[in-house]
Copies of this chain bind each other. A is one copy, B any other.
Amino acid sequence: MSADAIYLDYAAATPPAPEVQEFMQALLMSTGGTANAAATHLAGRQAARSIEIARGQLAELLHTTPGRLVFTSGATESDNLAIQGAAHARAHRGRHLVTMQTEHKAVSDTFRALEKAGFEVSWLPPDANGRLDERQLTAALRADTQLVSVMHVNNETGAIQDLAAIGAICRDRDVLFHTDAAQSVGKMDIDLSAVPVDLLSLTAHKFYGPQGIGALYIADRPGCQILPLMHGGGQERRLRPGTLPVHLVAGLGAAASLARQKMDDDHAHVSSLRARLWEGIRRVEGVRETLPESVCYPGILNVSVAGVEGESLLLALEPLCVASGSACNSQSGEPSHVLRALGLDDISIQSAIRFSFGRGTTAEHIEEAVRRYMQAVARLRDIAGDARAA
């Protein structure tokens, strides 16, 4: 990659923290860090120990106990395990499920597959601030509703949902509550000893851990049972078989521990970056903040702009690495379903850019982003001239 690339796509993937990298590297060079944790010999026990330490670190971050955490390959798998697993485990009680229109594809595509398998899904819209209206949720719940899935922080807009309020409504009606917290774990405090969440998905590469490892939290209460997606060696309480990848699990643990220490500083840092970025680009004529900071996790700023074609904007912004809509959708070319649900028209959606930043982002990066964004919009409008849409 060209040396001057400026990485502003932390919502798609955060680079692993140097501490995490070093720790993984040390494990990869040791017998205990590369053994099979299911083996009973010295090296295997060492591997198992690394894994249990990591489980403890993640439990501490989430204010829960290690036994509640099952390691997976990432949030996509956690979402599938939680949603398919709960839907099938409770299918004998009812086949109605509830989610939102603004979920990540790992959630929405899973619900769509369940629809094909005979489940009924209610898709709730967000309000103008991207949030779930709790009265709508209450109204949607039925006697046969088994599961509600609402993400914590939206990956495209940063919109935050009120887990405590949603969880309370679900508990009240004996409905399981799953949340995809891929974008918030390690960045916002989530206290699972207090917030009534039953199932929570996370992935390490969104909080400075490695790619390819995630976890599912499963609450310890009656009725909170799920069926596995896969079968095999009996690992992870038979819910997720397969050799546990020691260096990845340990990397996740180290990232969790680091996140706990740095959470306040990280949050203050991205808040100030977001303010600076928006202050800079709001001067562009026709630019619009998709959602205001007050309702968002501040590490994400989603903006759209009039009179500019999105693909050209992205190329004109190079070497800024930013996302057009969700990184998970960016190759499909379809307009973002999240921005649509928020009421944006297709012209605005196609011009939307998601800036997202984190620990490694500096004020200089932000200044450069502002400069390039202004320049790119001006240049493209120049090329468009009279052909330019209103």
Contact = CB atoms under 8 A, between A and B. Distances in A.
A264 interface: no
A287 interface: no
Interface in A296-332: 314, 318-324, 327-332
The secondary structure that dominates the A interface is loop
Interface in A215-249: 229-234, 241-248
B42 A5 contact: yes
B7 A35 contact: yes
B13 A243 contact: yes
Interface of A: 1-2, 5, 7, 9, 12-16, 21, 24-25, 28-32, 34-36, 38-44, 46, 73-77, 79-80, 104-106, 109-110, 112-113, 203, 205, 210-213, 229-234, 241-248, 314, 318-324, 327-332
29 contacts: A1-B31, A1-B46, A2-B42, A9-B41, A9-B43, A12-B38, A12-B39, A13-B35, A13-B243, A16-B28, A16-B34, A21-B28, A41-B320, A41-B322, A42-B321, A73-B242, A76-B230, A76-B232, A76-B243, A77-B242, A80-B229, A105-B231, A105-B232, A105-B234, A106-B230, A210-B245, A229-B230, A232-B328, A243-B328
Contact of A332 (B44, B232, B234): B234
A327 B233 CA distance: 9
